[in-house]
Amino acid sequence: MTNIKDLTIAGRTAIEAEKSFNVDRAKFMTASEAESCIRKQWYSKRPAFEPQEQDWGFAWRGTHMEKYMAESLEAANVPLRFAGDDQFTLHDPETKIAATPDGVIAYEDEWVPIEFKTIDPRTNKKNLPRSGHVTQLKIGMKLLDQYHDNPGIRAGLLVYTDASNYNDIIQFRVDFEDGILEEMAPRARQVLGKKSADALDREGKKNGDCRYCSYTEVCGVDVAEATGRTKGNRGSKIETAAQRHVEIKDQEEALKIEKAALSEDIKADLKKRETNSFVAGDIVIELSEVKGRTSLDKKAAKAAGVNLAPFEKVGASSERLLVKRVS
């Protein structure tokens, strides 16, 4: 029987291998990796250190999303430049930093650089934008401004698209930072100039990069130890329960946001109808004023010299369970 999965991966690997860049990325710290573990960056710049086998599926997903977004914006008559097949790597010889912007919306009076990112549908959007992505866009903006004649760059857009729903798109404004290359230059010098990785901090142990790093063996780090957590068996009872727990938590958060939005819609409609009550099918809707809760201003009491300590009490101890994604 033909194995479509294996053939697809083999074909995609061959396609990606044909891609080339106009600069030798091994000689520069690239914007996309600037905030990743510094030891991981060091190993990746030196061909002598072979990475462990890794799954490139997520990276390929991002590449296809970039193409989808660029094609869609161009079809909507957005003046998009340097996107898709027209992407070009920019580099600064002095700081040894490079970037390949995903595109630029080239208005007549302003350029708006744009960076596309794909996110897992389970991603907690409250944690967006991610710091590394912000830095990546800032570096790209500076290099674009530095090497292209343009009407001015004041800010860029960091755009996240849900991999399971291409219409679920959120964007963040990122302000232009003129000194970003100088700020990141010392890090680039360490990545490219250090003779050994031994003097570099294992940042992946702190930021979680070790879990996805393809250089853990040569780096000599134990992933389970690096995370400081006991690693359970895949598919175990606790993992199944934890995964479902987080899924429900994400759904609760999404429903909470949706409920709040619907509440505002209902209140706005009631005010438009100039009524405080309404019957919609078998649902009764009532809007009323609620008296504010009475609370004790402890700061004011303390400032007035009132000692509240004798009136405080401590409740019975309880357990607190924290279940969250580490990414």
The CATH number assigned to the domain holding 210 equals: 3.90.320.10
**184 and 273 belong to one structural domain:** no
**138 and 35 belong to one structural domain:** yes
Asked if the structure places residue 111 within a domain, the reply is: yes
For each of the chain's 327 residues, which pLDDT tens digit applies? 788 777 777 777 777 666 666 678 789 999 999 999 999 999 989 888 877 776 666 667 878 888 999 999 999 999 999 998 888 899 999 999 999 999 999 999 999 999 999 998 888 888 899 999 999 999 999 999 998 999 999 999 999 999 889 999 999 999 999 999 999 999 999 999 999 888 888 888 877 778 878 888 888 877 665 555 555 555 677 777 877 887 787 777 778 788 888 888 898 888 888 898 888 888 989 998 887 777 777 778 878 888 877 877 777 777 777 776 654
Domain end point (choices 177, 202, 227): 227
Asked if the structure places residue 275 within a domain, the reply is: yes
Domain end point (choices 285, 303, 320): 285
- Domains identified in the chain, total number: 2
**155 and 193 belong to one structural domain:** yes
**279 and 139 belong to one structural domain:** no
**267 and 213 belong to one structural domain:** no
In contact, 224 and 179? CB cutoff 8 Å: no
**135 and 246 belong to one structural domain:** no
Asked if the structure places residue 117 within a domain, the reply is: yes
Q: How confident is the prediction for the chain on average, in pLDDT? A: 85
Which residues on adjacent β-strands are paired with residue 174? 156
Q: pTM higher than 0.75, yes or no?
A: no
**280 and 200 belong to one structural domain:** no
**37 and 58 belong to one structural domain:** yes
Residues ≥6 apart with Cβ < 8 Å to 305: none
* Alpha-carbon span 64 to 118, nearest angstrom: 9
**140 and 267 belong to one structural domain:** no
In contact, 286 and 277? CB cutoff 8 Å: yes
**34 and 154 belong to one structural domain:** yes
CA separation, residue 75 to residues 67, 157, 315 (Å): 12, 19, 62
Q: Distance between the two ends of the chain, CA-based, in angstroms?
A: 37
Which residues on adjacent β-strands are paired with residue 117? 160
Domain span at residue 268 reads 236-285
Structure tokens that stand for 51 in this block: 């990475």
